[in-house]
Amino acid sequence: MNEQRFRRLYPPAAPAAERALWVLLRGDEILAPSDGHNVLLGGTTETPELTPVVDRMLLGALGNTPVLAGAVEPDAPLPAGYRTIALRALMAEADAQTAALTVYAAQIAQWGRIARFCSACGQALGMVENTWGRACPTCGHTVYPPVSPAVIVLVTDGERALLASKPGWGKRYSLVAGFVEPGETFEECVAREVEEEVGVAVGAMRYVASQAWPFPHQIMVGFIADYAGGEIAIDATELADARWFPRDALPELPPPFTISRQIIELWRGM
């Protein structure tokens, strides 16, 4: 697709043009043409060309073209020439911009479904203008779409890397990862998660990159860390295995679109 700049817009913003692009959500999946991966479908700012929708939301503008999201009834028959695709599969297939817009649409749609009533007093929530936030008109409690930070780290020792596997992964190995706890820095989380999951200590670490990971609402913050000592001792409640692999003999790895694979490939190319 044409790489135009996407500009986010927030309620109560209104689309400025008649023609629009749409992301259509069908349950937890995305509606897409059977013969392609471009899930940005045509329509007007009121409705997509393909099918009626509910829960219409303006996400922003791609160049001068409004981008909206809407939900298709889950039990409605699929239009001819279209399929549904899981969000994880779409992230693997689509270009980066399409994937990012779809991830955004899916997370805001989920937020719209769950943020209807105040968790403090049970009253219906109202909108907070110019954000996706919701505020309670009775008690004043305010909430915003959740983003849960998690670290993911490649531990290296010269020409070898420490990789871990979880139950059900088969022969695939990936990186140590875990959620940041309250009052904890990313660096502290890296050290803690590595020690808890594989039993070793890390020293110097450096930030590499981050990735939005909408399962359900994470931001993965990637690091490479130097091994500082200790023997591997896995947390059997989290992992099936962990071991050192030489740079030239790595095991089956996660798919290329994941930040874990990107960090591994960065290290392998050093």
pLDDT at 51 over 50: yes
3-class secondary-structure state, position 113: helix
Position 77 scores a pLDDT of: 83
Q: Is residue 36 located within the same domain as residue 103?
A: yes
3-class secondary-structure state, position 230: coil
Looking up residue 19, the CATH number of its domain turns out to be 3.90.79
User: For 107-150, how does the pLDDT look when each residue is reduced to its tens digit (9 = 90+)?
Assistant: 999 999 899 999 999 999 999 999 999 999 999 999 999 999 99
- Round the average pLDDT of the chain to a whole number and report it: 94
Q: In the 8-state DSSP scheme, what is residue 183?
A: T
Q: Is residue 133 located within the same domain as residue 198?
A: no
Q: 263 lies in a domain?
A: yes
Question: Residue 210, exposed/middle/buried by CB under 10 A (0-12, 13-18, 19+)?
Answer: middle
pLDDT at 1 over 60: no
Q: Are 247 and 159 in contact (CB under 8 A)?
A: yes
Terminal Cα distance for the chain, rounded: 32
Position 65 scores a pLDDT of: 95
Q: 157 lies in a domain?
A: yes
Q: Is residue 162 located within the same domain as residue 262?
A: yes
pTM attached to this predicted model: 0.90
Q: Is residue 189 located within the same domain as residue 254?
A: yes
Q: Is residue 154 located within the same domain as residue 260?
A: yes
Q: Are 150 and 218 in contact (CB under 8 A)?
A: yes
Read off the pLDDT band of 3 (50, 70, 90). low
d(C-alpha 32, C-alpha 38), whole Å: 7
Q: Is residue 49 located within the same domain as residue 160?
A: no
Length of the chain: 270
Which residue range(s) make up the domain with 137?
115-145
Count: domains in the chain: 3
Position 241 scores a pLDDT of: 98
User: For 193-225, how does the pLDDT look when each residue is reduced to its tens digit (9 = 90+)?
Assistant: 999 999 999 999 999 999 999 998 999 999 999
Read off the pLDDT band of 45 (50, 70, 90). very high
Looking up residue 192, the CATH number of its domain turns out to be 3.90.79.10
Q: Looking at 65, 97, 112, which one is the last position of a domain?
A: 112
Q: Is residue 207 located within the same domain as residue 158?
A: yes
Q: 1 lies in a domain?
A: no
Q: Is residue 153 located within the same domain as residue 230?
A: yes
3-class secondary-structure state, position 35: coil
Read off the pLDDT band of 76 (50, 70, 90). confident
Position 33 scores a pLDDT of: 87
Q: Is residue 172 located within the same domain as residue 202?
A: yes
